[in-house]
Structure 1
Amino acid sequence: MIPAAHLHAVAPLLLPVELRSAPLPTVLIGLTILLVEDQSLIAMDVEEMLKELLCEEVMTASCVSHAVRLIDENIPDLAILDFNLGDETSEAVADQLALRSIPFIFATGYRDGTGVPARFASIPVVHKPISRDSLSEKLALVLPIRQQSQRHPA
């Protein structure tokens, strides 16, 4: 076993062959990510993208109460929140993450980010349909500083 902090030099080699020639995506080695998504097919697709980016674990919730319970049980490193969850929004989950200083991004099918409260205007938004590259780009904006410094020591 090699600690994740020492894998930055070989991380691109751990990606599947078809991804090695693409622009280097954000590498999520060792991270636990909370994915809040009410559409199971989208959740499975995003989870697969996160695994391609070498995420350690994906915790998936389809509603606010389940997401909050997961946060209480196992604090994630990052989160991806579908803002509109059927008859509720992920605003309460975003509030819990913000209180705990856990970085997150929103996902939405609305191009203009409709519905995201003004207090979250600085939070990156990935638009559906989500691609691996757009997901990687938005996650890179909120990666914890400790993770970035571990991946690129001075």
Structure 2
Amino acid sequence: MDSSIYLSLFAGKHILIVEDEYFLADETRQKLEQLGSTVIGPAANVQDALELLTTSEIDGAILDVHLGDEFVFPVAERLDEANIPFVFATGYDASVIPAKFSGFTLCEKPTELGKIASALFSAGNGAALN
């Protein structure tokens, strides 16, 4: 199925982007805004992302796994606790993801927003995320 049909699911959503590569984060931000999303961030590190979680409304998140010299897993834990759907976006192998997050969607970079929208917000797929 063509995942681009899911792009409209981003409309009106507040999406947290956690990505340390500026150009990739900015490109994703621009695409999401064109689809009608409000972008939270992008945050380039765990501390900034955790701060945004406490100060912003968030409907879903796109998380780069490796942020400089740290991993994004504390952010994933907080999102999971709050029942906010998220996806991991990474160029790394899935083996770097802790087993406790094995039910969450992993998208390879560059991110395909249609697949992400489906994973975050479509009926049936969202339940598998949390």
TM-score by length of 2: 0.84
Q: Secondary structure at the match of 2:49?
A: helix
Does the alignment pair 1:117 with 2:95?
no
> Percent sequence identity over matched residues?
33
Root-mean-square deviation over aligned CA pairs:
2.0
Greater gyration radius:
1
TM-score by length of 1: 0.71
Tell me which amino acid in the other structure corresponds to 1:91: F
Give 1:82-101 correspondences, 5 Å limit.
82-101=64-83
Contact persistence 1:126–1:135 (CA under 8 A): no
Q: Secondary structure at the match of 1:139?
A: helix
Tell me which amino acid in the other structure corresponds to 1:100: A
Match of 2:115 in 1: 137
Of Structure 1 and Structure 2, which has the larger fraction of its residues in strand?
2
The gaps in structure 2 that reach 5 residues or longer are none
Contact persistence 1:37–1:63 (CA under 8 A): yes
Match of 1:38 in 2: 20
Match of 1:126 in 2: 107
Tell me which amino acid in the other structure corresponds to 1:109: G
Q: Deviations over 1:21-67 (max 9, x none)?
A: x9434221111110000110110111122123221333210000000
The gaps in structure 1 that reach 5 residues or longer are 1-21, 149-154
